[in-house]
C-alpha cells in the first residue's frame, strides 16, 4: 500500500507542478532511484526529458539540490522555466553582482531555494564551497556530464575536479546526466566521479521521427536557400563553425526573405538573449548559430537542423540534430560535407597536447566515416553509442531511401577478420589497412607484420576501399572496439563464429566526395578564369530580345538589363516576377518595366528543353542590407544633400557616390533629381544624357575618354549617369 501512495505522490507532484499526467520512458524509475539515495547515471537523448529527472526529486526532498551546468544560457533558460512553474530556482555564476550573490546566499540558508544551478568554475571558489557547506544540500546533479571525459566531444578540464569539490560537501547522492556518451565515455565519467557502483539508465538513442541526410558541399548557399524555401514557415536551426560564418549566413538567409537571426558567443549578451527569445517566441523562424546555441533550450517544434559546416564529432552532431522534432513530429537533419571542412578542423587542433590532438583526430575520423559511409545512418549513429539497430532499412535516411551500389563482401570481411586475429587484436584501422594491402611502414616493420599470412593479400584494392570494408564490418558487429585500448579493434562473438563458418555478406560502395566541388570558397578559386556557368543558348536569346526591346523604346540595350544580369537569368531560369526581381541588377522596378517578355522567353525555353528550373535557389545578394546602405537610401528619400549624407556616414564624397552606384545597379531606384538639379547645369546634364543614350556601354572609363565629354569632371559624369539610369533603367 505504501508503494502505491509513493507512486501517487510522485504523479500528483508531476501534475501539480509541471502539468504532465504521466512520466515518459524510464523517468519514474530514475527518480525513484535517486529518492532512495542511490548514485544514478542517466544517458538519455536530447528531448527525452532529462531535466525532470533531477527537478522533480529536488521538490520532493528536504533541502537544496545543486545542479552543475556548463552554460550560462542553459542555466537562465531552465531557471526561467522553473520560476514560471512557481518553483524557486536560482543560479550562481559570473553574471551576478555581489549584492545578488548576498541575497541568493541568504535565501538559500533560509531554505527558500529548491534548486541552485552552479557553473563548475563557481565551485572552484572557496567562498562558494564554504557557503554550500552551511546549506542542507539534498543531492548533486551534474548535467552535460560528457564534459567530464577527455574521450568525449566537449571535454572541459574543470569538470574533472567536480568530484573533489562535491566531497567537501559531504557524502551526497550524485546524479550524472548526458545526452551523448559512447561506452568509452560512460566508463570514464563513472570512474572520474567514483560512482562505478551507480545504477545506469540508458534510453534508446533512436529518434524515429528524424530524417538524416548528408549532401556534398557544392553550391552550398544555393542548396541552403532552396532547402529553406521547401521548408518555408517552419522553425529551424542552421549551425556554422565560426562566428564570421554565422553572421554571413544569417544575412544571406534574411535577405532571401526569411525571418532569421544570428547567435554566437561574440555577440553582446543582450543581443544574444533577444535573438534566443525571438526564436523561442516564434518571432523569427530560423536561428543561425555556433554550437553555443541550443544546450538546454526546450523548443519542441524545431522542424529542421542544418549543419552548414561539418561538426567536430558524432556526439556533437547527434546532440545538435536532437534539437529537431522534440515533439515527436517530423525533423529533417541535413549536413553539408566536404573534406576541406575536416582539414580546417584538423588545423584547429594543432596547438593541443599530443593526447588531445589524437583524441580529436579519432573523433574527426568517425565524422568522416559517418558522412561517406553507405550504411544506414541510423544504424551507424546507434552503433556509435553502443546500441544495435537490426532493421535492414530505416526508411528515414538518405542511404536507405537512395541505397548505394552493393557487392559481395564475404571474402573481404574474412580478410579483415583474419588481419585482426593475426595482429592479436591490438591495432586500429590504419594499421590493419596497411597490413592487408602489403604496405611496409615503420609500424609494420617494427612488429614484423610483413611475415603474417594475410600481409599483402588485399593489395589490389586502395586504402579507402579497405577503410570502408573495415568500417562496415564493425557496424555489422563482426568487430568491436576495444574500450580499454582506444582505436584498437577486436573480434566479436559474431566475428569469431563467422571465421569458423563463413556466410554471404553484402557490402556497399562509399559515397565519393572527392570528385565533387567543395564549398564555394574553394571551388571559386579553382574555376578557370573564362569558365561559363550560364546557358549560352538562352543567354544569346535574351541578348537578342534585349536588343529588340531597346530598339522599340529607343534606348541603349544596357539600360534594359546589363550582361551580368542576363548571365544570371541564363543560369537560374527565373520564371516568375519574384524570381526575376531576385537577379542582381534587376529589382521589381525593372521587372515591371521590362520583365514581361524576358519571363515569357525563359518560360518557353524551359518548357521546350524540359529544364528543371533553379529559381528556387537564386541567392539574392545582401548588398542593400548593410546599415550604411539602408541609411543612405533613407536619407536620399528624405532629400538630404549628398555632402551631408557623406559626412553623417563618415564617407568621402567619392565613396558615397560608389555606394549609391552599387545600390542603383543592384536594382533599387533612387531619385537624386532634388540634388542633381542644384549642382549640375541643365545643358551639361543634357549633353551627358545624350552621350549615354547613344553609347554602347555605361562604362565610366569610356565616358571619360570620349571627346564630347572632355570638359566635364568625373563627378559630374557620375551624377548625370545616375540620373540617366534612374530615369530609364528603373
Q: Domain 405-508, what fold?
A: Arc Repressor Mutant, subunit A (1.10.10)
Q: How far apart are CA 174 and CA 193, in angstroms?
A: 9
| Three cell numbers, residue 72 | 550560462
Contacts of 584 (CB under 8 A, 6+ apart): 564, 565, 568, 620, 621, 623, 666, 667
Q: How far apart are CA 375 and CA 381, in angstroms?
A: 10
What length does the chain have?
A: 730
* CB 336 within 8 Å of CB 223: yes
Q: Return the pLDDT at 525.
A: 34
- Are both 405-508 and 624-728 of the same fold? yes
β-pairing, 506-508 with 406-408? antiparallel
One-character DSSP codes across 262-275: EE-TTS-HHHHHHH
Q: What is the DSSP letter of 285?
A: S
Q: Return the pLDDT at 513.
A: 73
CATH homologous superfamily for the domain 2-202: P-loop containing nucleotide triphosphate hydrolases (3.40.50.300)
Q: How far apart are CA 256 and CA 582, in angstroms?
A: 8
Write the Ramachandran bin of 298: left for phi over 0, alpha for psi from -120 to 50, otherwise beta. Answer: beta
| Three cell numbers, residue 301 | 517544434
The pair phi, psi for residue 695, each rounded to 5°, is -75, 155
The yes/no answer on whether domain 536-611 falls in CATH 1.10.150.80 is yes
Where do we find the cell 536507405? 400
Q: How far apart are CA 45 and CA 369, in angstroms?
A: 22
With a cut of 50, which residues of the chain have pLDDT below it? 1-4, 296, 515-532, 615-618, 621-625
Q: How far is CA 504 from CA 44, 127, 409, 480, 662, in A?
A: 36, 66, 8, 20, 65
| Three cell numbers, residue 550 | 531597346
| Three cell numbers, residue 216 | 556534398
Burial class (CB within 10 angstroms; exposed 0-12, middle 13-18, buried 19+) of 601: middle
Three-state secondary structure readout of 449-515: HHHCCCCCCCCCCCHHHHHHHHHHHHHCCCEEECCCCCCCEEECHHHHHHHHCCCCCEEECCCCCCC
| Three cell numbers, residue 445 | 616493420
The pLDDT tens digits for 145-168 are 888 876 766 677 777 888 888 888
Contacts of 171 (CB under 8 A, 6+ apart): none
**Ranges of each domain in the chain:** 2-202, 210-397, 405-508, 536-611, 624-728
Q: What is the DSSP letter of 202?
A: E
Q: How far is CA 580 from CA 35, 47, 547, 577, in A?
A: 64, 42, 19, 5
Q: How far is CA 607 from CA 119, 134, 571, 613, in A?
A: 61, 79, 15, 10
The pair phi, psi for residue 356, each rounded to 5°, is -65, -40
Q: How far is CA 636 from CA 74, 648, 723, in A?
A: 45, 13, 13
Q: How many CB atoms lie within 10 A of CB 401?
A: 12
**Is the Cα torsion angle 480, 486, 487, 489 positive or negative in sign?**
negative
Q: Return the pLDDT at 1.
A: 30
Q: Return the pLDDT at 68.
A: 92
The pLDDT tens digits for 64-96 are 999 998 877 678 778 888 888 899 999 988 888
Q: What is the CATH number of domain 210-397?
A: 3.40.50.300
CATH class of 624-728: mainly alpha
* CB 40 within 8 Å of CB 189: no
Amino acid at each position: 500500500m505504501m508503494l502505491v501512495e509513493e507512486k501517487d505522490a510522485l504523479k500528483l507532484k508531476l501534475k501539480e507542478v509541471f502539468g504532465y499526467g504521466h512520466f515518459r520512458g524510464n523517468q519514474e524509475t530514475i527518480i525513484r532511484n535517486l529518492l532512495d539515495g542511490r548514485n544514478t547515471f542517466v544517458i538519455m537523448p536530447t528531448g527525452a526529458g532529462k531535466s525532470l529527472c533531477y527537478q522533480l526529486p529536488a521538490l520532493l526532498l528536504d533541502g537544496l539540490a545543486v545542479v552543475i551546468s556548463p552554460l550560462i544560457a542553459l542555466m537562465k533558460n531552465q531557471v526561467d522555466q522553473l520560476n514560471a512553474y512557481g518553483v524557486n530556482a536560482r543560479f550562481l555564476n559570473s553574471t551576478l553582482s555581489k549584492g545578488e550573490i548576498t541575497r541568493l546566499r541568504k535565501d538559500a540558508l533560509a531554505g527558500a531555494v529548491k534548486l541552485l544551478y552552479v557553473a563548475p568554475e563557481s565551485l572552484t571558489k572557496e567562498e562558494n564551497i564554504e557557503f554550500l557547506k552551511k546549506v542542507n544540500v539534498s543531492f548533486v546533479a551534474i548535467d552535460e556530464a560528457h564534459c567530464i571525459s577527455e574521450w568525449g566531444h566537449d571535454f572541459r578540464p574543470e569538470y574533472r575536479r567536480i568530484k573533489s569539490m562535491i566531497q567537501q560537501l559531504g557524502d551526497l547522492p550524485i546524479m550524472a546526466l548526458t545526452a551523448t556518451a559512447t561506452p568509452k565515455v560512460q566508463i570514464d565519467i563513472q570512474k572520474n566521479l567514483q560512482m562505478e557502483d551507480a545504477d545506469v539508465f540508458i534510453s534508446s538513442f533512436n529518434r524515429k521521427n528524424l530524417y538524416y541526410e548528408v549532401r556534398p558541399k557544392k553550391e552550398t548557399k544555393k542548396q541552403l536557400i532552396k532547402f529553406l524555401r521547401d521548408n518555408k514557415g517552419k522553425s529551424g536551426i542552421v549551425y556554422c563553425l565560426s562566428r564570421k560564418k554565422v553572421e554571413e549566413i544569417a544575412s544571406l538567409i534574411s535577405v532571401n526573405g526569411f525571418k532569421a537571426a544570428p547567435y554566437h558567443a561574440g555577440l553582446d549578451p543582450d543581443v544574444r538573449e533577444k535573438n534566443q527569445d525571438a526564436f523561442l517566441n516564434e518571432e523569427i523562424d530560423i536561428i543561425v548559430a555556433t554550437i553555443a546555441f541550443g544546450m538546454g533550450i526546450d523548443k519542441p517544434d524545431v522542424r529542421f537542423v542544418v549543419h552548414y559546416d561539418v561538426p567536430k564529432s558524432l556526439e556533437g552532431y547527434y546532440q545538435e540534430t536532437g534539437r529537431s522534432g522534440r515533439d515527436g513530429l517530423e525533423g529533417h537533419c541535413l549536413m553539408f560535407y566536404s573534406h576541406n571542412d575536416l582539414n580546417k578542423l584538423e588545423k584547429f587542433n594543432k596547438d593541443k597536447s599530443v593526447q588531445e590532438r589524437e583524441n580529436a583526430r579519432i573523433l574527426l575520423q568517425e565524422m568522416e566515416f559517418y558522412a561517406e559511409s553507405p550504411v544506414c545512418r541510423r544504424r551507424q549513429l546507434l552503433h556509435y553509442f553502443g546500441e544495435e539497430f537490426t532493421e535492414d532499412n530505416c526508411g528515414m535516411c538518405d542511404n536507405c531511401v537512395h541505397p548505394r551500389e552493393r557487392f559481395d563482401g564475404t571474402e573481404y570481411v574474412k580478410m579483415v577478420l583474419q588481419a585482426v586475429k593475426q595482429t592479436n587484436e591490438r591495432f586500429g584501422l590504419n594499421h590493419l589497412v596497411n597490413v592487408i594491402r602489403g604496405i611496409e611502414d615503420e609500424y609494420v616493420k617494427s612488429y614484423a607484420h610483413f611475415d603474417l599470412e594475410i600481409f599483402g593479400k588485399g593489395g589490389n584494392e586502395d586504402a579507402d576501399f579497405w577503410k570502408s570494408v573495415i568500417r562496415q564490418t564493425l557496424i555489422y558487429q563482426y568487430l568491436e572496439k576495444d574500450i580499454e585500448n582506444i582505436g584498437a579493434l577486436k573480434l566479436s562473438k559474431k566475428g569469431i563464429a563467422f571465421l569458423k563458418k563463413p556466410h554471404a555478406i553484402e557490402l556497399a560502395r562509399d559515397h565519393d566526395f572527392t570528385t565533387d566541388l567543395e564549398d564555394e570558397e574553394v571551388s571559386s578559386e579553382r574555376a578557370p578564369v573564362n569558365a561559363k556557368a550560364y546557358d549560352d543558348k538562352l543567354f544569346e536569346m535574351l541578348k537578342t530580345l534585349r536588343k529588340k526591346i531597346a530598339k522599340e523604346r529607343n534606348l541603349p540595350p544596357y539600360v534594359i538589363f546589363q550582361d551580368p544580369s542576363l548571365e544570371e537569368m541564363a543560369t537560374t531560369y527565373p520564371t516568375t516576377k519574384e524570381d526575376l526581381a531576385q537577379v542582381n541588377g534587376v529589382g521589381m522596378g525593372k521587372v515591371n518595366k521590362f520583365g514581361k517578355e524576358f519571363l515569357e522567353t525563359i518560360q518557353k525555353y524551359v518548357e521546350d528543353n524540359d529544364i528543371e528550373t533553379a529559381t528556387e535557389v537564386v541567392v539574392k545578394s545582401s548588398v542593400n542590407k548593410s546599415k550604411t546602405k539602408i541609411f543612405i537610401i533613407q536619407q536620399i528619400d528624405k532629400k538630404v544633400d549628398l555632402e551631408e549624407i557623406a559626412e553623417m556616414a563618415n564617407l568621402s564624397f567619392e565613396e558615397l557616390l560608389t555606394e549609391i552606384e552599387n545600390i542603383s545597379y543592384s536594382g533599387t531606384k533612387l531619385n537624386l533629381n532634388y540634388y542633381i538639379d542644384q549642382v549640375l547645369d541643365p545643358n551639361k546634364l543634357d549633353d551627358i544624357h545624350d552621350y549615354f543614350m547613344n553609347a554602347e556601354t555605361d562604362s565610366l572609363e569610356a565616358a571619360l575618354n570620349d571627346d564630347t565629354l572632355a570638359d566635364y569632371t568625373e563627378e559630374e559624369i557620375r551624377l548625370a549617369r545616375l540620373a540617366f539610369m534612374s530615369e530609364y533603367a528603373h
